[in-house]
Amino acid sequence: MSASPLAVSIKHPTSDEEDLAPMPIRRHRRRCLIYGGSCAAVLVILTVVIVALALTVFKVKEPIMTMNSVTVQRLAIASGAPSSTAQPFAINMTVVADVSVKNPNAASVRFGASTTTLYYRAREMGVARGPPGTARAHRTFRLNVTVDVMADRIFGDANLFEDLAGGSIAVTTSTTVGGRVRVLGLFKHHVDVTMNCSITMAVANQSIVDQNCAQKVRS
């Protein structure tokens, strides 16, 4: 006859027995409960504060680009070579655009290299690139871009000589710069700012007669 193994009985302490536990053990348990509850409450509060700041104070706002001025440093018109019939005139022109980007955010914005393109009647005349930089919180990042006009690209346009003879020339500029905002060191937000300007310049004194700019932001 085989003997069956004896069942092992595990006795769990009752609430009365826990109350009868030594005082140091009860104090340790209470401290663990208080510590765990405090940590959970602090984490919840920190999460609420971070979300509230991200949606209010540190909410990413669109940078504001402004074309402060456009100046023509050199506009020289000279007759071409006597043997040349394709290009009876030679044009040299350098355009300097003073552009600023205002950062309305409570965090710094890092801007990459900017690109400014100059057009005459939708035909590209020249391209210039500006260096990268950083705009601190609520500060303005300023950059000057110099565009040297490639005159050979516009000689084929018959309207050029009519505009020059009329005393003014209309051009358009397009400036694009990309930036990145880091909020609280945790959240990243990328924006691309583009500003297109229509500019009319006087040939005689190289001044700006009319200027109209519009900004586009893509995030």
Tell me the pLDDT tens digit for each residue of 110-133.
Answer: 888 889 998 988 888 888 888 888
Compute how many other C-beta atoms are within 10 angstroms of the C-beta atom of residue 7. 5
Task: Give the Cα separation of 149 and 152 in Å (integer).
Answer: 9
| Residue 145, pLDDT score | 85
Which has more confidence, 32 or 103? 103
| Residue 121, pLDDT score | 85
Going by C-beta distance under 8 Å and a sequence separation of 6 or more, which residues neighbour residue 121? 154, 157, 159, 170
SS (H, E, C) the chain: CCCCCCCCCCCCCCHHHHHCCCHHHHHHHHHHHHHHHHHHHHHHHHHHHHHHHHHCCCCCCCCEEEEEEEEEEEEEEEECCCCCCCCCEEEEEEEEEEEEEECCCCCCEEECCEEEEEEECCEEEEEEEECCEEECCCCEEEEEEEEECCHHHCCCCCHHHHHHHHCEEEEEEEEEEEEEEEECCCEEEEEEEEEEEEEEEECCCCCEEEEEEEEEEEC
With cut-offs at 50, 70 and 90, classify the pLDDT of residue 196.
very high
| Residue 23, pLDDT score | 61
- pLDDT exceeds 60 at position 82: no
| Residue 180, pLDDT score | 86
Which has more confidence, 209 or 91? 209
| Residue 188, pLDDT score | 76
Report for 18-32, 61-75, 157-171: range of highest mean pLDDT: 157-171
Report for 19-23, 81-85, 151-155, 207-211: range of highest mean pLDDT: 207-211
- pLDDT exceeds 70 at position 193: yes
- pLDDT exceeds 70 at position 89: no
List, in sequence order, every residue forming a beta bridge with 75; answer none if it has no partner. 93
Query: Any idea which residue has 């609430």 for tokens?
Result: 15
Task: Give percent of the chain with pLDDT exceeding 70.
Answer: 67
Least confident of 17-31, 38-52, 104-118, 151-165: 17-31
CB contact burial 58-83 (16+ within 10 A = b; e otherwise)? bebbebebebeebebeebeeeeeeee
Round the average pLDDT of the chain to a whole number and report it. Answer: 75
Over residues 4-25, mean pLDDT: 53
Residue 83 phi, psi dihedral angles, 5° rounding: -85, -5
Give the global pTM: 0.64
CB contact burial 165-198 (16+ within 10 A = b; e otherwise)? eeeebebbbebbbbbebebeeeeebebebbbbbe
